[in-house]
Structure 1
Amino acid sequence: MTARVKDVAFLAKVGVPAVSSRDIPVNVAVSAPLVGAARAGVDVDALLAAVGLDRAAAEDADLALAPAQRNALWREALVRSRDPALALHAAEIIPWGTFDVVDYVVAQAPSLGEGLAALARYFRIIRPDFNLAFEADASGGRLSLDLPPTFAGVQPYTTEFTLGCTIARFRRLTEATWSPEAIDFKYAAPGHRDEYARVFQCPLRFDADATVVHFSRAALDLRQPRADALLRPVLERAAADVLARMPPAPRLTAQLRQVLSEELRGGSPTLEHVARRLAVSPRTLNRRLQAENTSFQQQLAELRCELARGYLENPRISIAEVAYLLGFSEPSAFHRAFKRWTGHSPQAWRARPR
């Protein structure tokens, strides 16, 4: 399945213009900023060129953006579109089928609650590095979203888009007017909070400990009238087969990177300290990382490199400040490390043609 499906009636219903199918890439990693930019009339090819991508790369389903390039793509899309709520607006119009088999399998669930459970179950097909979890009981349900630390620079936009897509799609599937009971966001309130209120239509809480959408029991019991009981097991098997062929999520590596990102804020993480935070011995941590074909030092270096590229994109952050933020004892140590990682000095990398 490809990401070229169009539903003109749905676009008209939500009151936004359709986007040309050629402006919608197959790759989910770049869909949100490009769809939002296309909606605003931005030249998508020029936008891609500005961040070092071409359309062939954007349509490569296996493309993985480095954090710095991801940040640059969002920044350019926001600047060129002059739309601070670009992610929310993209979520309202992104075509059905963009998320491949996951879009179709959740559509066959008999109720909203079962659809949310299917979404959480197969979400790794869309974003293997995100953690989307759903739980429900007699009182209601909770859908939680946790992003990897390398998404820190685009956390609000990524969260807006992911939750915006989820709400818009299930409103369409249930053919009913409903809203979450409340949504908690793990970041400060944005300047376009009014658009949050329009899209989500529920109480919003910012600076929360976690990003969680709360659902009432009545909402979870809403039926999805177009669900096909015969088609559902066929699509479930297809989705399960895709999931089974994906490499297992490196759980310890993901936890390690989360801890390292927190420890790097002006400090220099040590194996012993990080192992204590992960409740394992240094020897066990090394052994389990080796089983995942990585190591403490490799993950520390990769995360520092990714974060360094992101920081250097911002000319207001001095190179000495970048060194401090990454836990280096002095700028010269950061210079040597960055040259080893990239083949360029921090100054040369910052001054390179974009």
Structure 2
Amino acid sequence: MGIERYSISIHFARMLMNAGRRLQLDEAVLLNEAGLNRRMLDNAHLRITPDQFSRLMRAVWRLADDEFLGMGAQRCRQGVFAIMAKQVVHSRNLHSVYYKLSHFYNVVNDSLHLSLEVVGDDAIFSMKLKDPAQDPDFLLRGFLLLLWHRFPSWLIGQRISLKHVAFDHPAPKHLTEYRLMFPCPAKFDQPVTCLVFDAAALTAPLVQTPEALRIHLKRAPFDWFTRPAYYPVYTRRVLDYLERSENLAEATIQHAALELHLTDRTLRRKLAAEGSQFQRLKDGVRRDMAIHYLSQTSMSISLVSQVLGFSEPSAFTRAFRQWTGELPRTYRDVARDRK
């Protein structure tokens, strides 16, 4: 299972659509470009593919000509990020990246102020919005903090290990999604929104080239939303086992434990300590794979059912409806309409 199949809560798409309404963008165009429809958007429990969410964000960027999605005190014209990226790709190390990134945005846009500070062993990259009320759903702060972590991580060719992230707003209703976005504890109601990591990482050299950046920018923001979800150690190892499995229907905790050189009792105990459970993890993998496959019109519902190890399409339909509240054909029909 490739990383592109990790799903994203519809909650974020709904927030983007809220931003589109505030900007008076054509809702039908946004939904069509993302391969979504109103019924899907109204299902609070639905999950969509990173590709769908990326296309929705690109549509808002294009129609609004604003990379801050209408949530900044000042519009950030489309292409500003690319100009910044083409400057910082020539940096010597991570410290230089964060310094240049901060200086660039502080000069070209008054919507936010960025700063890098080293306090003892900690590097603190902070962001403060000039008008937080323009970001009522906290979407801009979450998206930009994700970007300030993942783009520099891509530049140095390794994930920046975070100690914690902090937000200057209350914990959101979709709190569990932050575990998928950031590989560390998240703190809320803090004085400032920031990334905190080991200052030693600032010496890491860049490994990406201007040529690689051109490809990266063409794919943006897709690559920023398709990093593997971050989980505790045994949860991650079980997910790795499930994603490698050629027959998910026959994947069991006993087989997983055997591969991990544990007893199934020990594996159950370790998963429970991490707040996980084998069947829930298995269902999540199947759900995300199903969402991905159903967005690809070349695969029939019957074939998706077979690939995921269901005995018959009706069993898959029941499971999919239990996972998402929707029928598989809803995804298939929307994908075909978009084509």
Instruction: Give the structure-2-normalised TM-score.
Output: 0.42
Higher relative contact order (CA 8 A, sep 6+): 2
Instruction: Give the structure-1-normalised TM-score.
Output: 0.41
